[in-house]
Amino acid sequence: MAVLNAKSDLQVAEERAAHRVFPVTAKLTKDERKAVTDFARSHGLARGQWMRDVILRELREVLLREARRKDDDAVFIELIATRMLMVNLLKPLILGKQVSQDWITEAMAAVRREKRKAARDLMQQYADEAAGGQ
């Protein structure tokens, strides 16, 4: 039985390359250009293909780091929110005061409103302390 639509590796590579029509350039010194060319060739790649691979790999890694940082920020914000709730709800209880359902609801709403600012302020405090060598 014949294999339908079989394409050589060269045909596939040519078709893939045909869609890459937007050149992006970088200025290199003569020595840098030679180093990049030699390195790419030593890995069996054309200089442009190696540069493309490096650029796209770096882009994916940066985007992934940024996404992780946002996840870390969300966790930090929720940790600060939990801290704020505990402080706001435990303090009156420790002092022997009664807290109403409305008071708890308002405390939770206030935490929801203010948690991001509180987290930013705390992070800024940490940054200021680190910059001051404290």
Predicted pLDDT at 31: 97
Q: What is the pLDDT of residues 51-60, one digit of tens each?
A: 999 999 998 9
Residue 107 lies in a domain: yes
pTM of the model: 0.48
Give the mean model confidence (pLDDT) for residues 44-64. Answer: 91
Residue 35 lies in a domain: yes
Domain around 77: 26-131
Which pLDDT score, from 0 to 100, does residue 4 have? 57
| Number of domains into which the chain is organized | 1
Answer yes or no: is 38 within a domain: yes
Residue 77 resides in a domain: yes
pLDDT of residue 115: 93
**Residue 19 counted as domain residue:** no
Answer whether 37's CB lies under 8 Å from 26's CB: no
**Are residues 77 and 116 in contact, defined by beta-carbon separation less than 8 angstroms?**
yes
> What is the DSSP secondary-structure string of 26-44?
----HHHHHHHHHHHHHTT
For residue 61, how many C-alpha atoms fall within 13 Å in the half-sphere facing its CB? 6
Q: Reply yes or no on whether the pLDDT at 33 is more than 60.
A: yes
Does 78 map to a domain? Answer: yes
